[in-house]
Structure 1
Amino acid sequence: MNKKYTIKDIALLAGVSKGTVDRVLHKRGKVSDTALKKVTAILETIDYKPNLIAQNLKNNKTYHICVLLPDPNIDNYWQRCKIGILNASQDFEPFNVIVSIIEFNPQFTESFVENHQKALKQNPDAVLLAPLFYKEAQTAITDYKNLNIPVLTFNNQVTPITADGFVGQDLIQSGRVAARLFETTIRSGHITIIHINEDISNAKHMQEKESGFRTYFESKEENAFKISTLHVEADKLHALLTNYLENNTDTKGLFITTSKSYLVAETLEALRINDITLVGYDLLDLNVKYLNSGHITYLINQNPKHQAHLGVTSLAEHLIYQNKISKTTYLPLDIINSENVKQYITN
């Protein structure tokens, strides 16, 4: 059952020459219909799988995957993504897969567009893309598709789905999970959704989190919650949130739709507010610090490192093995509190 068949074995079984088998396997040269049927039948019987890796190395075939990634030095959330990309790059380096990373400024659409053009000039075999800016990402995906370059998105999903695949979270569901956490924790009251440092009109991922959050409560026959939304720049957050809380003393919960929950926690700590439930995203060091101190109640882990690693892996296996790229790969939504966070950090 585990026999590895050689071209010689297949030729003997099919009653043809080794040259005929070679031509069938590599789809080159002329082969009679009779011989083709004989060889094909044997290949199906033995479930033959060619050693594509060996063939690629022998033919000196090199594959290039280009990754468009927000600069981790500007937004630390993407550092874990970069680690996942580099780890996957090492995994596939022996198979002649080269992974290059082009970083763009996550605060400016112009930076994304400029670096997308750099990626196009590299003429890669496949592209992994973090579609931070919805409209510009749609255009970029169209450019790659027009050149027959497979493109996979991660972290945020562009809908309607135009890329070959997506790896990440179900963002609407993550919003619903956050809503459920508030419902079971505070039971009723005023909850404010806070979007930090984003143009919400061009940030589909944040729209979907808010949509999931709101629809959860709207679906209830008895809704005991008041929901508000606050948009704020990071450098103005402390002053604006301080003023907001002074004017909304009924606030019982804050839902942060980005990885910057620590900024809100810093303000709560400075104001000595300890009775507001705060739910946010991701295991950044500062988020973990405030989770352990109690200023952040829950974190929803989006596992950015695993997302990026899976993205590169999917593209590499598509190029090497011709594996089909899965249209959608959703990762589990991990709910983290101060009691289980150590396990996730260790892993």
Structure 2
Amino acid sequence: MDKKYTIKDIAALAGVSKGTVDRVLHKRGKVSETALVKVNNVLDEIDYQPNPMAKNLRINKVFKLFVLIPNVGKDSFWLPCKDGIQEFEDAYKGFGIKVENYFFDPASTASFLETARGMIALQPDAILTVPIFAKEAHVIVKECYEAGIKVSIFNNFIASDYVHNFIGQDLYQSGRVAANLLHMLLKKGHIGIIHIDEESRNATHLQEKEKGFRNYFSGLKSDNYQISTLSISHKDPVKFKATLLEFLDENENLEAMFVTISKSHLVADAIKDRKQRQLIVGYDLVDKNVHYLKNGGVNFLINQKPKEQVTLALNYLAEYFLFDKPIPSEVLLPIVIVNAESVDGYLV
């Protein structure tokens, strides 16, 4: 069994004091060049590996990781994130990591700003959030940087020098994947891109998906496809259905729809009684989407795996603070296509 060397052992081997070894190991205080060389030679000889966990316990430091996500009661897509956060918290109990959850109204920029600034005032070590409002998110991540708080983001990407890392899918590429699916099903036709409940001009995730989708079809260099975009709110369900059906009536030749967020079920439900049924490609395995996927109302769903995103992001932060492990600036997850035949395997 390998010998576990103490500071006392290293000091004896190097012929210096324990205080000198401590200063070298923790890079604090002044050490003469001669003593530094002696200690480092011993460290190399014994292949010394520091124990960051012991260091953390010794200084009795608790790292605070705050998570800011949309209210799960208003958008069930985020519900798996709560489970992931709880599992992470259970795994790191006793290791000097404290997690706190905060929620904002996904329809309110004011709610996002107010909640985020309240978190910043509490001075956590890091904030993990979803920048669904691009303009406001840029403001918040800059304020975090100025306060010395690390910021990680997931699911939705924004380009910012103040963001430490991003975890999620390549949203532009996922738009291309959706386009490819419809291209395989349609040799020609009119396709609608449907944005629901989000202002696309302030939502880079919707913009990237639409760019990727349109780019795929423009790359075909074919006149066989026409693409139209509809941005629509579901705050008033009656108005939502009327607006969607009006859009379909105005575009009688519309054969398919690409729904850019996790609310494909709203579209499927609105058109379920129509004689002409459009193909639908959307996102995420929320219960109502899965219902329509299994019953033919939705053809494909792209699974963004929010639980995996949030737990991976938290693990990177924990390992950074506990073990000084570097955090990758970007981690892109696979783009997973789910249909009625494969969905049960993802619901376990």
2:251 counterpart letter in structure 1:
N
1:245 counterpart letter in structure 2:
L
Q: Aligned runs of 1:60-139 on 2, under 5 Å? A: 60-139=60-139
Cα deviation for residue 149 of structure 1 reads 1.1
Report the counterpart of residue 325 of structure 2 in structure 1.
323
220, 244, 247: which one pairs with 2:247? 244
Whether 2:212 is the aligned partner of 1:209: answer no
Q: Which runs of 5+ in 2 are unaligned?
A: none
Report the counterpart of residue 173 of structure 2 in structure 1.
173
Would you say the 8 A contact 2:189–2:253 is kept in 1? yes
270, 274, 287: which one pairs with 1:271? 274
Comparing 93-102 and 220-229, the one that deviates more: 220-229
Cα deviation for residue 11 of structure 1 reads 3.6
Measure, in 2, the Cα distance between the counterparts of 1:263 and 1:2.
62
Measure, in 2, the Cα distance between the counterparts of 1:298 and 1:49.
50
Cα deviation for residue 19 of structure 1 reads 3.8
Compared with structure 1, are the counterparts of its residues 60 and 240 closer, same or farther at alpha carbon in structure 2 (3 Å cutoff)?
same
Would you say the 8 A contact 1:186–1:277 is kept in 2? no
Measure, in 2, the Cα distance between the counterparts of 1:287 and 1:42.
62
Would you say the 8 A contact 1:217–1:223 is kept in 2? no
Cα deviation for residue 22 of structure 1 reads 2.3
Cα deviation for residue 213 of structure 1 reads 0.4
What count of residue pairs does the alignment treat as equivalent? 345
Question: TM-score, normalising length from structure 2?
Answer: 0.94
Cα deviation for residue 221 of structure 1 reads 2.9
315, 340, 343: which one pairs with 1:341? 343
Question: TM-score, normalising length from structure 1?
Answer: 0.94
Would you say the 8 A contact 1:89–1:312 is kept in 2? no
Would you say the 8 A contact 2:120–2:147 is kept in 1? no
The alignment partner of 1:243 has SS state of helix
The alignment partner of 1:94 has SS state of coil
Report the counterpart of residue 308 of structure 1 in structure 2.
310
Q: Structure 1, residues 265-312: CA drift from partner, whole Å, max 9, x if none?
A: 1122232544x2100000001111110001110000000001111111
Measure, in 2, the Cα distance between the counterparts of 1:224 and 1:49.
63
Cα deviation for residue 166 of structure 1 reads 0.6
Measure, in 2, the Cα distance between the counterparts of 1:74 and 1:41.
60
Report the counterpart of residue 189 of structure 1 in structure 2.
189
Comparing 37-46 and 190-199, the one that deviates more: 37-46
Would you say the 8 A contact 1:278–1:296 is kept in 2? yes
1:66 counterpart letter in structure 2:
F
Measure, in 1, the Cα distance between the counterparts of 2:283 and 2:324.
35
2:260 counterpart letter in structure 1:
T
Cα deviation for residue 29 of structure 1 reads 4.2
Cα deviation for residue 26 of structure 1 reads 2.2
1:90 counterpart letter in structure 2:
D
Q: Structure 1, residues 50-89: CA drift from partner, whole Å, max 9, x if none?
A: 2111221232111111111111011111111222122212
Cα deviation for residue 252 of structure 1 reads 1.2
Q: Structure 1, residues 225-257: CA drift from partner, whole Å, max 9, x if none?
A: 110001111123211222222232211110000
Would you say the 8 A contact 1:176–1:215 is kept in 2? yes
Comparing 27-36 and 2-11, the one that deviates more: 2-11
1:191 counterpart letter in structure 2:
I
Compared with structure 1, are the counterparts of its residues 47 and 189 closer, same or farther at alpha carbon in structure 2 (3 Å cutoff)?
farther
Comparing 205-214 and 12-21, the one that deviates more: 12-21
Q: Structure 1, residues 21-67: CA drift from partner, whole Å, max 9, x if none?
A: 22311234443211211222333455433211122123211111111
Measure, in 2, the Cα distance between the counterparts of 1:268 and 1:119.
42
Cα deviation for residue 15 of structure 1 reads 4.3
Measure, in 2, the Cα distance between the counterparts of 1:185 and 1:230.
21
1:59 counterpart letter in structure 2:
I
Measure, in 2, the Cα distance between the counterparts of 1:311 and 1:36.
37
Cα deviation for residue 20 of structure 1 reads 2.8
Would you say the 8 A contact 2:154–2:310 is kept in 1? yes
292, 295, 317: which one pairs with 1:293? 295
Q: Aligned runs of 1:248-263 on 2, under 5 Å? A: 248-263=251-266
* RMSD of aligned residue pairs (Cα, Å): 1.8
Measure, in 1, the Cα distance between the counterparts of 2:268 and 2:324.
47
Cα deviation for residue 2 of structure 1 reads 6.0
Would you say the 8 A contact 1:237–1:264 is kept in 2? no
Report the counterpart of residue 233 of structure 2 in structure 1.
233
The alignment partner of 1:222 has SS state of coil
Q: Structure 1, residues 180-211: CA drift from partner, whole Å, max 9, x if none?
A: 11111112211100000011111111011000
Cα deviation for residue 4 of structure 1 reads 4.4
The alignment partner of 2:192 has SS state of strand
Measure, in 2, the Cα distance between the counterparts of 1:282 and 1:258.
8
The alignment partner of 1:262 has SS state of helix
Report the counterpart of residue 163 of structure 2 in structure 1.
163
